[in-house]
Each structure stands twice: as C-alpha cells, then as structure tokens.
Structure 1
Amino acid sequence: MRASYKWLAEYLDLAGLSPAELADRLTSAGLAVDAVDPLNRGVKGVVIGKILEVHPHPHADRLKVCRVDVGDRELQIVCGAPNAAPQQLVPVALPGAKLPGGVEIGVAEFRGILSHGMLCSAEELGLEPRYLPKRDAEGLFVLPADLPLGADIVPHLHLDDVVLDLDLTPNRSDCLSIRGLVHELSAILRRPHRFPHSVPAPAVEGESPLRVRLETPRCPRYEAQLLEGAEVRETPLWMKMRLLAMGIRSIDLVVDVTNYVMLEWGQPLHAFDADAIAERTIVVRQAREGERLVTLDGQERALTPEMIVIADPEKAIGLAGVMGGENSEIGPSTRRIALESACFDGRSVRRTGQALSLRSEAQQRFEKGVDPAAVSSALHRATELLVQLAGSRPVGAPRRVPAQEEAPKPTIISFSPRECSRFLGVDVPEDEMRTCFESLGFTVVQGEREWRVEVPTRRPDVALPADLYEEVARLYGYDHIPSTSMRLPVEAPESSAHLPLLRRVRRALVDWGLYEVRTYALTSPEAEAPVSPSGVPVPLLRPMSDDRRSLRRHLLPSLAEVARHNLAHQVPGGAIFEAGKVFLAASWPQAALPEERSVLGMLWFGETEGDPFERPRRYDFYDAKGVCDALLARLGVQPTYRASECAFLHPGRQASIQANGQSIGLIGELHPDVAEAYEVERAVYAEIDLALLASVASADVRVAPLPRHPASRRDLAVLVPQAVEAQALVDAAWDALSDRDILRLVRVFDVYTGTGVPEGYKSLALALGFQQEERTLTDAEIDEAVNTVLRAWEAAFGAKLRA
C-alpha cells in the first residue's frame, strides 16, 4: 500500500513530523514502512512556460524551433517532440536547471540554432509513464491552461510530496485506504483527525429509475446511483498526480474518480454506461453454466456458476468485485452513468480472480474485507466529485438493496484491564488503556471489573480480547514492555525416539554431498498420478490453490518438482533428500484419520558435477546404492537387495532394500514414462521408511582394528538358470562358511548372457574374499572353502563352474 504524505496531512496535523519520522512511528506501531520515496527525484529550476510559436528547424527535419514565454521573458528553445504546438503550457527547464539522473541544462547549439533551455516530457521530470494516460506519457507533458506562467513546476505537479510504501499484514485491510491510515495515525500520534464520519446523500427528490435485484446471498448489500449529463472532461492535474503517487494509472475522469474514492475510503466502486443496461435493471446473481463475458481488457472469459456477476435481464455486464464488462464500458459517448457500491463475498471474489488469472486493486480489497459502513459514503463521495468535475447531475435518490437495512453493528468484546496487564507482562494504567481505545474510535463502557468495548466495522481484525491486548501493546509502545529472561530450560527434551536417528541420517547425507530440501506436504491428485500411490487422496477443506488441495501420499512428486525447477534454471543436476511425512488412507472420509508415515526420500537427477579426474556423467543406480549402503552401514544395518516390481521404477533397474528379513525401502531408476511426466530424464530414486529403519538401526556401531594378516580373493564364474537371483548365491555362500569365520567378502561383479552361455542360463561372476585375524590362510584352506561354496551352489541352484 502506497500512501501520500500530503494526502494524509489534509486530514491530520502532521506538523513537526517529517515523512521519515512518520514512517518510524508507523513501523513502531506494527505497520511496517518499507520505503520513503520523494516524488521529486531531482527536479530544480523547471518552470511553467507557454509555447507562442513553433517553426521547423532549417537544418534538421525532426527538430522544431519554439518561442516560449516563461513569464518574465521569452526564450528560443529547440525541441524534438512531435506534439509541440502553439498555446500549449509545458514544463520548461531553464539554463542552470537540474533534472533526475543528474542532468544539468544549459544553453546548447543544435545544427546552428541556439536553445536556451529544454521543453520536458513527463518521463524527463521523473514521472513514471505507466501511471499516466497515453497522451501525457508520450511527447511533451502538456499542462492545464490555467497554471501561472513562470511558476515553479514542483508544487503544481505535486512533486513536493513523499510516498510511504507500507508492507501491510493480511489482517489490516482497514489500512488499504487513506481513511484507515488517518484513523491509525490519529491513535498513534494522539492527535484528532478531520476525516468525515460519513458523506450525506445528494439532495435529490424522487425515486431512482434504476432497479436492483439481488439473486445471490454472496452480495448482502448493493447500492447504485444514476447520474446524467456526464461531459467528456480532462481529469484535473491534482487528481492525476495523487493517483500517480498512490501507484494508480490515470485513465479517464469517471474511472479516475472511482479509483480516487476507493483509495480515500477503501470501498471499491464501478461505473457502468447506464444506457447499456437493459430495462435499467441491475441483477446480481451467480453466473450461468457456459456463460461468457468480454471483460474490459478485451479478453473473452468463460464463467462458472461459482462466480458472481453483475447483469441485466439479458446479459452479464461485469464480474463482481473483479472487472467490468466491455459491453457496459464508459466511453466518449456515455451520457448516463450507473455508479455501483456494494459488498461482495471475499472468498468468491478471490477464487474468481484466481480462476481467470485476474488481479486488481478492487479485488484485493474485497477479498480482504471491506467496511459495510463505508458503502454509502463512498457512493455519495463519488457522486459529489462527478457533479463537481464532470458536470453530472444525480437522477433520483440512490437505490439501496436491501432498502431498509439496519446500520452495520459493531463488534462487542468483553475486556479485562487486569487480564490485559497480566498478558502483556507490564502494568498499563487503565486510563492509558481507555485512551488507546478511544483514540482508535472504539467505544468503551467501563464496568467494575470488565469493560464493554465496541469495535467499529472498519476493524474486522479485532474480534477477541487478545486482539484488544495487541492494540494496547501497539499504542502504549512495545518499548515500554520490559524484556524478561526465559524461565524454561533452553534445551527441550526429545519429543520422539526417531529424532536422534533423523539427525544422524541428515548429517550423514549432507556429509556425502546431498542437499536437504523442504517441500510442501500439500499437493494434488494430478501431481501424484504418475506414481499411483496407495490409498485415496485426503482433500483439504479450504485449499489455498488448486495445486495444493490434498495431503501428499508420496515424496517423489515433491522431490521431482525441486529437480524440475533446478533443471529449468540451468543447474546440470544434483542429489537431494527430504525427511518428511506422507499421509495414507484406505478410504476417505470414512477413515477417522489418515495414517502418517515418516519417510526418507532421495533423488539423483541430471549429471554429476565432475572433477579433474572424471568427466560429468549421468547419475545411475549405483550412485544411489552406494549412498544407501554407506548410510545403513553407519547405522549398524547390513542391507540386502532383492529384485522388485515397483510400477513407477524402471523394470530390471530397481530393488527392494531389506534388513533383518523385512523390506525397509526401495531403490531404482525412474520408469521412462514417469521421468517424462515429471520432466526429469533418467533420475534415480530411493526411499526408506524411517519407522522401520529405527527398528533395525543400532546406536552402537562397532568398529574393528585393521587386519594384520593379508587377505586372499578368488573370482568364480558359474552358470545358473536365468530365474536364479544373484543375491541367492551371495546368501548361500555366507551360509556355507558360517562356521569357519574366514569369509569376509561376497560380491557380484559381472552378469553375462550370450555366446558361450546355454539358452535359459546366465553367467554370474562373484568375488570371494578370505581372511583370518590370527594368521595367514594357506592355499589349501582357501581352496577347500571355495569348493564348499561351489558344492552349496550346485546343490541349491544347479550351478556349474565355467571353464
């Protein structure tokens, strides 16, 4: 929210407070001011001048020679602007003047013609063209004809103003207006304000010819005023510059008035061409299935029944609270205006804007909540301005629906001064508390022990006693509340037996070069579709967005989203992990609560970074397996890997991770279709159930001294049927020599099928390592151990030693 210092000063005495000091006071009271920006970005020595004559430059086709009256003298100035014309009032930078960017103006010669100064455009004065009408943003900045010649341009363009850029929290919708900020500053500074409590209706007799029907409960209040005789007039310069200061683009007089009143009162308004409203009847209803509307931005939009529309008996003419329709747009031919002021359901307005990818200042205010007490005053204020500036005339009294609605009722809160002091930890005098509330415009009725505080409707964020405590703390001053030392132990006890294990896992993975990520526990069924997780999705009751509307059932979609983001930003690859929860339900909502599982997910994607000794290459299955082996070894777990058939992993390039006879996780390359769906080509995923890992992990990891005697290795290649798993041979070797304590290694290092291998068989090459602690093994002992293993393989699998 941008706020003009001069606009605030119209309603509140700011004497003795510079804009920077005012920003400090606001920030100290909880309304953070991010920046204090002067509108004058270095303009000095620029005056108002009148072009008397314009002649073409004799030696340059694109230049003109102008004779300019600057009040006390006439100057010859060379200008290249295409819109320079006699009788125009324009900004003139005299010799010695300064412009934004450190530009200094002097007497210059252009193709043999002297120029005693410079005629300025809006951009050269430091004004942002995007906030000005196209006519003012291009070429010379043409000024109104009633400005005094020779006068300094700064006060007439309101460049002596300063803008405060506030970073408001979502609950402070009341400060999205000058009205709200004036009330806030009045309380902070303890100075009375002059902002009107209300604006009276125009003194017009008779009933309005407009008719209004409310056909949806999402619009509890709607008011409309018909005006006729709207003349095509230029928006006054003061209003243009005030809108510019607030970050709003000037469009035309009628739209500028509605925007001006919105900024002043916080109540969005909209103006329709009354002659485009069929039967002069406004209908507020839900959109119909398949209904379409061309909005003011020229886009045709498909509407849904969840959206509120402003319509007439024949067609929709606007999206409530979001944007008007092109078929009722105010234009040069408009002679009658239907001015709208209403309350719309904030959630519906927000969802409509999200669904149609629209965003507007009005929508921002409706979705955060507008003050129903300001609906009438804002309408009357806009009517007043259109009468003054556009020559309009109100026709009939404002049409209100409901016609006899009671005034909005304030929120009533029971407040205990004693409890407030206890809550804040400081004794605040009761007189000070009362002053805080009354300076905010709250009504206080004191009782013996409790007070009755009435909060006006412009402050929807104050609804509980704790909210009143916060108001006291803000206005009394946070610096008056003493800091106290903590009385609890600094280090909290462990709340879960899994936390120490999780810390060891995180530390190990980070040591090995993986990056920890934190992702949303919210996703959508569409994002999880490639993985096809078990159970049914658990939807959120009030999702913030369509792609975060259910609890996740798998970590892979979240990790893939991180990988996709990095690959799209020219990161060649990486290894990431997350320890998070997934939520599983066999049925929903029949299930009481979803099952929460703590899972460790790891993803290797793209290419390795490479080093001086290795070229970059794609991550593969063995990169992931090496990390899993090292991690489980550090936790005292001896894993085995069994072939698995997980649908979202690549067939033949995946395995189940097992320990103590149970599966604790899985590992494998993503199925090509899944990798394509997530846009992470050839990625490797590993997952471990942390609860199962905790059941097999050991806090005590034993280490042994380095062996003193040499080891011996034997490589064996055997023929076995295709269906035999390599892990089965590994297990059989350990079992065969379990009583001798000499086998130290069994590792598969090659699998071969093809020439020389019978049909239906495969060749497995395994390395066996032998060693003993007390002595060096003899060749006879090693040969006997090898033969024992071969006999066990032959008996169990029919294995034959290859020649």
Structure 2
Amino acid sequence: MRASYKWLADYLDLSDLTPAELADRLTGAGLAVDAVEPLNRGVQGVVIGKILSVRPHPQADRLKVCLVDLGGRQVEIVCGAPNASPGLVVPVALPGARLPGGVDIGIAEFRGVASHGMLCSAEELGLEPRYLPKREAEGLWELPADLPLGADAVSLLHLDDVVLDIDLTPNRSDCLSIRGLVHELSAILRRPHRFPARVAAPRAEGESPLRVRLETPRCPRYEAQLLEGIERRETPLWMKMRLVAMGVRSIDLVVDITNYVMLEWGQPLHAFDADAIAEATIVVRQAREGERLVTLDGQERILTPDMMVIADPEKSIGLAGVMGGENSEIGPATRRIALESARFDGASIRRTGQALALRSEAQQRFEKGVDPAAVSSALHRASELLVELAGSRLVGGPRRVPAEEGALKRTVVSFSPQACRQFLGVDVPEDEMLACFQWLGFEVARGEASWRVEVPTRRPDVQLPADLYEEVARLYGYDHIPATSMRLPVDAPESSERLALASAIRRALVDWGLFEVRTYALTSPEAEAPMELDGAPVALLRPMSDDRRTLRRHLLPSLAEVARYNLAHQVPGGAIFELAKVFLADAWPQPEMPVERDVIGMMWFGETEGSPFERPRLLDFYDAKGVCEALLARLGIEASYRAGDAKFLHPGRQAVIDAQGQAIGLVGEVHPDVARAYEVPRAVYAEFDLALLSALATGQVRVTPIPRHPASRRDLAVIVPRDVASQALVDAAWQAVGEQGTLRMVRVFDVYTGAGVPVDHKSLAIALWFQMDERTLTDAEIDHAVGAVLQAWQSAFGAVLRA
C-alpha cells in the first residue's frame, strides 16, 4: 500500500514528524514501511513556462524553436516534442537546473540555434509513465493554464510529496485507504484527526429514476446515484498527482474521481453509462452458465454461475467487484452516469478474479473486506466531486437496496486486563489499555474483571481477545515489552510405540546407507497411471495445481520422481526411503473417509559409485532383500518369502514378505515398462506396512556366543518339479532335523534348468551347515542328518538327488 504523506497531513497534524520519522512510528506499531520515496527524484531549477510561438528549426526537420514566456522574460528553447504548440503551459528546466538521474541543464546549441533550457515531459521530471495518461507520458507535460509563469515547479506540480510504501499484512484491510491510515496514526501518535465520520447525501430534488433488484445473497447492500450533464474536463492536477503518489494511473475525470474516493475511503466505486442500462434497471445476480461479457480490457469472458454480475433486464454490464463491461463504459459521448457503491461477498469476488485471471485495486479491497459504514459516505463524496469538478447534476437522491440497512452490527469482544498482562508478560496499566482502545475508536464498558469492547466495523480483523491483546502491545510499544526467558513448564510428550518404531527404522535405514526423503502427499492420476493401481484416487475439492489434485495411493511414483531428479543431475545412483501415508478408496466419492496407511517405501536406483575394492555395479534385487532381512531381524520378526504378482514389479523378480501368516511387505525390481514411464532405467522397490510391523515387532534380538567348535557344510543338488518353491525345501529341512539342534543354516545357492534336468523340473543346489556348541560333530552324525533331510524332501516333493 502506497500512502501520500501530504494527503495524510490533510487530516492529521504531522508538522513535527518527517516522513522518515512517521515511517518509524508506523513500523514500530506493526505496519512495516518498506521504503520512504520522495516524489521529487532530484528536480531543481524547473519553473512554469508558456509557449508563445513555435517555428520550424531551419536546419532540422524534427526540431522546433519555441519562444517561451517565463513570466516577465522570454527565452528560445529548441524542442522535438510532437505536442509542442503555442499556448501550451509546460515545465521548463532553465540553465543551471538539475533533473533526475543527475542531468544538468545548460545552454546548448542545436545546428546553429541556441537553446536556453529544456521543455520537460512528466517522465523527465521523474514520474513513471505507467501512472500517467498516454498523451502526457509521450510528449511535453501539459499543465493547467492558470499556473503562475516563472514560479518554481516543484511545489506547484505537487512533487514535494513523499510516498510511504507500507507492507500490510492480509488482515489489515482497513489500512488500504487514507481513512484507515489516519485512524491508525491518530492512535499511534495520540493526537486527534480531522477525517469526517460520515458524508451527508448531497441535496437533490425528486426520486431517482434508477431501479435496483438484488437477486443474489452475495450482495447484501447496493446503492446507486444517477448524475447527468457530465462535462469532459481535465482531471485537476492536485488529484492527478495524488493518484500518481498512490500508484494509480490517471485515466479521465470520472474514473479518476472514483479511484480517488476509493483510495480515500477504502470503498470501491464504479461508474456506468446510464443510457446503456436497459429500462434504467440495475440487476445484481449470479451469471448464467456460458454467459459472455466483454470487459473493459477488451477481453471476452465466459462466465459461470459462481460469478456475480451487474446486469440490466437484457444483459450483463459488469463483473461485480472486479471489472466493468465494455458495453457500459464511460466514453466521450456519455452524458449521464450511474454511480455504484455496494457490498459484495469477498470470497465470491476472489474466486471470480482467480478464475478469470483478473486483478484490480477494487477486487483487492472487496476480497479482503470493506467497511459497510463507508458504502454511503463514499457514494456521497464521489457525487460531490462529480458535481464540483465535472459540472454534473444529481438526478434524484441515491437509490438504496434495501432501503433501510438498519444499525450496523459491531463486533463485541470480552477483554480481561489481567489476562492481557499475562499474555504479554508485562504489567501494562489499565489506564494505558483504556487509552489504546479509545484512540482506536473502540467503545469500552469497564467491569471489575472483564471489559466489554465494541469494535467499529472498519476493523474486521479484531474478533478475539487475543486481537485486543495485540492492539495493546503494538500501541503501548513493543520496545516496552522486555525480553524474558520461558518459564512455562514443558511436559514431555506421551510416548508412542508407533513413533518409537518409526524412529528406530529411520536410524537403521540411514545406518545402512539409505537417504530419507520427504515428498508431496498430493499427486495426479496421470502420475500413478503406469502402476495400474486398484481402487480410485481421492480427489481434492479445490486443488492448487493440476499436477497436485489427488491424494497419493502409493509411494513408488514419489520415490521415482526423486530418483529421476538425481539421475538427471549426474548422480549415478543411490538408495532412498520415506515413511509416509498413502490414501486408499474403493471408489471416490464414497460415504466413508479413505483408508490411511503408514508405509515405509524404499528404492534402489542406478549403480554404485565404486571404490578401490569394488567396481561400479547396478543396484539389484539382493541389495534390497538384504536391507529388508536386516530390518526384520533388528525388529525381531521372522519372515519368509513367496512369489508376488504386483503389476508394477517385474513378474519374475519380486517377492511377498510374510510373517505369522500375513503379508507385511514386498520387494522386487520395478517392471521395465513402469521404469521407462518414470524415466528411471532400472530400480528396485520395497515396502512395509508400518502398522503390521508395529504389531509383530518384539524388539527381542537373541545373541549367541561365537561357536568354539567348527561347522561342517554339505552341499546337496536335488531335482524337483519346477513349481516347487525353494523356500518349501528350506522349511522342510528345518522341520526334519531342526529339533536335534545341529542344523544352523540353510541357503539356496543355485537354480538350474536345462540339459540333464527333466522337462518341467529344476535343479536346486542347497547348502546345509551343521554345528554343535559342546563338541565337533562326527561324520556319521552329519550323514544321518543329511539323510533325514533328503528323506523329507523325497516324501514331500519327490526330490531326487542329482548325480
């Protein structure tokens, strides 16, 4: 928010405060001032002059020689501006003058003709062209004819103003106007202001011919004033320069007056060409599906029923609170205008602006909330200015719907001085608290322990006792609140087995070389499409972007995104994991909330970096399986593996991890088609259900001493049907001799099919380790155990010892 120092000084005595000092006071009270910018960017020695005559330059076609009256003396100045003409009053930089950017002006000669100064444009005096009408931005600055010739231009052109650039927080919509800032400064400086509480309606004869119908609850108040006899006059220089100081472009007199009053009162206004309103009837309604409107920027907009429009019985003529329509625009032929002042629902205005990619000063104020008490006063103030400056006449009084709004509802907040002191940590006197509220314009009814504070409608941000505490703190002065150490008791959070387990898993995985990542829980159906997941994605009601419009159902796409990013940035490979939620639903929408699962997802991608002891190699299934086994062992969970059928994993290189008769996870190489879709050439994925791990984890790890006696290994190669799982043979071996306590380990180390093996069969090579703690086993004891294992395999699977 830009604020003119001189405009504020019209309503408040600031004679003892420089703009920089005023900025410090505002910042100290919570309204941070980012910059203090003088409107005069270095103009010195510029005066007012009038062009008496213009003749062509004898040696240059594009230059003109102007005779300029400086109020008692005349000088010749060479100029190339296209609008230089006799009778024009312009700024003149005389020899010795200085312009913004360190430009010094002297007597110069242009092809034989001496120029005693320079005729200036507004841009050459430091004004930004975007804030000026196109005509003034491109040529000499055409000034009012009644300015005194030869007088210093800085004060006459209102360049002696200073702009405060205030960084408002979103809740302080009241300070988006001079009115709000004046009330704020009055409380900060503890001095009275002169801003009127209200503006009375101008005297007008008869009843307004305008009619207004409200057909939507999103517009609780609408007022309109009809004026006729609008003259096409130039905007007064003082008004134009105040708009420039506030960062608003000057357009024409009618629009400038509506903008000026908006900046002054904080209430947006809009002027329609009254003759373009059919049946002199204004209708405020929701747009119809597919309705079209060409707005003032020349763009055709396709509207939806969620958008509010200003219309007449035949057509829409404007987007309520956002932008007017081209079909009701004020133009050179306009002789009657309908001036609008209304209250619109802020959320509706914001949604309309976002949907149509429109942004305006009026929209910004409506969506943050305008003061309902300013609706009538802003309309009356603009009507007065149109009568005074545009020569217009009121046609009847203002048309108000509803006719009587009634007393405006003020927010009432209960306030405890003692609670405020405890909240702020400083002993603020009650009289000081009362003074803060009174200077803010809050009405206070004091009680013994609690006060009743009535907040004016211009402060919608004050709703709770904590808001009142904040008002006391900032007006009493943050520098008066000492820094203190925290004395509140801090209780340790309740322990959670689930959180402790998650923490232990994180530490373990990091110890084994995996990196933890955090990814978005929001994704899109397209991102999950390559996995062909069951169920339906849970859609967001109002997504922030198209690629984050559903809740994720699986961690693989998120981890693949991290892997793809790293591979694209020359990282050869790595291992990552994430503990996060996935959201599952059979269909969406559905009556119940989606199921939330806590999942540990792990991914190995690319290749190892290599070392002096190992060449770089692709990370594979066994890297993942080793981590999974180590994790389960650390948690005290005994698990087994069986073939899996997940569509997104390689059909021959995946396994389901079972424990106590239920699936607790899976591990496998990502299906090549899925890997290509995610642009990760090769990856291995594993996951566990955290809830199942939590239920099965014992945390009991059995430690045995190192055996004192050697173990004996026997390698057996047996032929079994191809559909027999190797794990089944391992389990059968344990059952056959496990009770004897001599079998210590069983490992499958080779699978073979081909020559020498019958069709539909396979050869499994399995190593058995036998050992005892007390003594060394004899060959007879080992042979007996091996025979028992072979007998068990033959009986259960028809295994035949391979020759």
TM-score (norm 1): 0.81
**How far is the alpha carbon of 1:195 from its aligned partner?**
1.1
Instruction: Kindly state the Cα deviation for residue 416 of structure 1 after the two structures are TM-superposed.
Output: 3.8
CA distance in 1, matches of 2:65, 2:330: 37
Distance in 1 of aligned mates of 2:569 and 2:54: 58
CA contact (8 A) 2:77 2:119 kept: no
| Cα distance in 2 for residues equivalent to 1:290 and 1:684 | 50
Residue 298 in structure 1 maps to residue 311 in structure 2 = no
Cα distance in 2 between the residues matched to 1:114 and 1:17: 46
Percent of pairs identical after alignment? 72
Counterpart position of 1:289:
289
Alignment of 1:87-166 (within 5 A): 88-90=88-90, 122-123=122-123, 125-138=125-138, 141-149=141-149, 153-166=153-166
| Range with bigger deviation, 556-565 or 1-10 | 556-565
Pair 668,347 (structure 1): closer, same or farther in 2 beyond 3 Å: farther
1:456 paired with 2:456, answer yes
CA distance in 1, matches of 2:161, 2:192: 22
The Cα shift of 1:362 comes to: 2.0
**Counterparts of 1:608 and 1:70, CA distance in 2:** 84
Q: CA deviation at 1:302?
A: 2.8
In 1, the alpha carbon distance for the partners of 2:79 and 2:756 equals: 94
Q: Determine if contact 1:436/1:476 at 8 Å carries over to the other structure.
A: yes
Q: Is the 8 A contact 2:230 2:336 kept in 1?
A: yes
Q: Which moved more, 1:657-666 or 1:585-594?
A: 585-594
1:157 and 1:510 map into 2 onto residues whose CA distance is 69
Give the Cα separation in 2 of the matches to 1:461 and 1:560. Answer: 43
Q: CA deviation at 1:401?
A: 0.4
Residue 656 to residue 557, structure 1, CA distance change in 2 (3 Å): closer
Please identify, of 683-692 and 448-457, the stretch whose mean Cα deviation from structure 2 is larger: 683-692
| RMSD of aligned Cα (Å) | 5.0
* Kept in 2: contact 1:212–1:281 (CA 8 A): yes
CA distance in structure 1 between the partners assigned to 2:567 and 2:201 by the alignment: 58
The CA distance in 1 between the partners of 2:211 and 2:373, in whole Å, is 22
Q: Is the 8 A contact 1:732 1:793 kept in 2?
A: yes
Q: Structure 2 CA distance, aligned partners of 1:329 and 1:47? A: 38
- 1:181 corresponds to: 181
**CA distance in 1: counterparts of 2:16 and 2:568, whole angstroms:** 51
CA positional deviation for 1:535 = 7.6
Q: What is the distance in 2 between the residues matched to 1:674 and 1:765?
A: 33
Deviation at 1:217, TM superposition (A): 1.7
Q: Distance in 1 between matches of 2:468 and 2:343?
A: 26
Separation in structure 1 between the aligned mates of residue 697 and residue 599 of structure 2, nearest angstrom: 15
| 1:707, distance to aligned residue in structure 2 (A) | 9.7
CA distance 1:530–1:249, change in 2 (3 Å): farther
Contact conserved, 2:76 with 2:114, CA < 8 A, in 1?
no
Residue in 2 aligned with 1:429? 429
**Residue segments in structure 2 that go unaligned for 5+ positions in a row:** none
Change (3 A) 1:416 1:237: same
- Of the structure 1 ranges 668-677 and 322-331, higher mean CA displacement relative to structure 2 is found in 668-677
Does the CA contact (< 8 Å) of 1:551 and 1:582 recur in 2?
Answer: no
Indicate the residue corresponding to 1:366 in structure 2: 366
SS of the residue aligned with 1:502? helix
Point out the more displaced range, 355-364 or 734-743: 734-743
Q: Which range moved further: 584-593 or 156-165?
A: 584-593
Looking at structure 1, the residues matched to 55 and 610 of structure 2 have their Cα atoms a distance apart, in angstroms, of 70
Indicate if the aligned counterparts of 1:539 and 1:549 stay in contact, CA closer than 8 A. Answer: no
1:554 and 2:547 equivalent? no
Instruction: Assess if the C-alpha contact under 8 Å between 2:271 and 2:340 holds in 1.
Output: yes
Which residue of structure 1 lines up, in the alignment, with residue 388 of structure 2? 388
C-alpha offsets along residues 535-571 of structure 1, whole Å, 9 cap, x if unaligned? Answer: 888888x968587999946354993797599699979
**Distance in 2 of aligned mates of 1:212 and 1:730:** 87
Matched residue, 1:417: 417
The residue type paired with residue 554 of structure 1 is R
What is the aligned partner in structure 2 of residue 328 from structure 1?
Answer: 328
SS of 1:387's partner is helix
Cα distance in 2 between the residues matched to 1:100 and 1:764:
90
2:517 equivalent in structure 1 = 516
User: What SS does structure 1 have at the residue aligned with 2:376?
Assistant: helix
What does 1:647-796 align with in structure 2 at a 5 Å threshold? Answer: 654-659=654-659, 661-667=661-667, 686-697=686-697, 723-725=723-725, 728=728, 738=738, 746=747
User: Which whole-Å CA distance do the structure 1 matches of 2:78 and 2:367 have between them?
Assistant: 52
1:397 counterpart SS class:
coil
* Closer, same or farther: CA 208–50 of 1 in aligned 2, 3 Å: same
Deviations 1:151-199 (A, max 9, x none): 5554455444333333333332212222112111111111111111111
User: CA contact under 8 A between 2:267 and 2:374: conserved in structure 1?
Assistant: yes
Question: How many angstroms does 1:706 deviate by?
Answer: 9.3
Q: Distance in 2 between the 1:138 and 1:99 partners?
A: 18
Question: Residue 259 of structure 1 corresponds to which residue in structure 2?
Answer: 259
The answer (yes or no) to whether the contact 1:294–1:325 under 8 Å persists in 2 is yes
> Against the structure 1 CA distance between its residues 198 and 719, is the aligned structure 2 distance closer, same or farther, given a 3 Å change threshold?
farther
The 2-side partners of 1:131 and 1:721 are apart by 87
**CA distance change for structure 1 residues 784 and 454 in 2, over 3 Å: closer, same or farther?**
same
Partners of 2:94 and 2:206 in 1: how far apart? 57
Counterpart residue type for residue 168 of structure 2? L
Do the aligned partners of 2:215 and 2:283 also contact (CA within 8 Å) in 1?
A: yes
Give, in angstroms, the shift of residue 388 of structure 1: 2.8
Match of 1:74 in 2: 75
| Aligned pairs for 1:188-227 within 5 A | 188-227=188-227
Deviates more, 1:14-23 or 1:114-123: 114-123
Deviations 1:211-257 (A, max 9, x none): 00111222111000112222333433433433333333333332232
Q: Select between 161-170 and 785-794 the one with higher mean Cα deviation.
A: 785-794
Q: CA deviation at 1:493?
A: 3.5
From the superposition, tell whether residues 756 and 82 of structure 1 become closer, same or farther in structure 2 (CA, over 3 Å).
Answer: farther
> Which residue of structure 2 lines up, in the alignment, with residue 26 of structure 1?
26
How far apart, CA to CA, are the structure 2 residues paired with 1:271 and 1:107?
49
Partner of 1:348: 348
Q: Is the 8 A contact 1:564 1:678 kept in 2?
A: no
What is the one-letter code of the residue matched to 1:348? S
Structure 1 residues 766 and 456, CA gap change in structure 2 (3 angstroms): farther
Larger displacement relative to structure 2 (315-324 or 620-629): 620-629
Larger-gyration structure (1/2):
2
Decide which moves more: 363-372 or 293-302: 293-302
Question: Which whole-Å CA distance do the structure 1 matches of 2:523 and 2:50 have between them?
Answer: 63
Aligned partner letter, 1:502: A
Q: Indicate the residue corresponding to 2:230 in structure 1.
A: 230
Q: What are the Cα deviations for residues 325-362 of structure 1, in whole angstroms up to 9, with x where unaligned?
A: 22222223222211111111222222222333333322
Say if 1:546 and 1:68 are closer, same or farther in 2 by CA, change over 3 A: same
**Residue 14 of structure 2 corresponds to residue 14 of structure 1:** yes
Q: Structure 2 vs 1, CA of residues 746 and 609 (structure 1 numbering), >3 Å: closer, same or farther?
A: closer
* Cα distance in 2, alignment partners of residues 619 and 631 from structure 1: 18
Deviates more, 1:390-399 or 1:81-90: 81-90
Q: Give the letter aligned to residue 477 of structure 1.
A: G
CA–CA distance in 2 between the matches of 1:716 and 1:159? Answer: 100
Partner of 1:579: 579
Of 331-340 and 442-451, more deviation after overlay is shown by 442-451
Map 1:629-648 onto structure 2 (within 5 A). 635=635, 640-646=640-646
Q: What does the per-residue CA deviation read over 1:253-296, in whole Å, with 9 as the maximum and x for residues that have no partner?
A: 32232222222211111221111111010011122233222222
Q: How many equivalent pairs are there?
A: 796
Letter in 1 for 2:292: R
Distance 1:144 1:655 in 2: 87
Question: 2 CA distance for matches of 1:152 and 1:727?
Answer: 99
Deviation digits for residues 346-384 of structure 1, max 9, x if unmatched?
222222223333333222222222111110011111222
Confirm or deny: 8 A CA contact 1:524 1:546 kept in the other structure: no
2:635, 2:414 → 1: CA distance? Answer: 57
Q: TM-score, normalised by structure 2?
A: 0.81
How far apart, CA to CA, are the structure 1 residues paired with 2:726 and 2:37? 72
1:453 is aligned with what amino acid?
Answer: V
What is the alpha-carbon distance in structure 1 between the residues aligned to residue 97 and residue 770 of structure 2? 92
Deviations 1:59-87 (A, max 9, x none): 7x7x63554748366354565x6666665
1:20-41 deviation line (CA, Å, top 9, x unaligned):
3333322332333344444444
CA shift in 2, pair 1:337/1:655, >3 Å: farther
1:159/1:678 CA distance change after superposition, 3 Å: farther
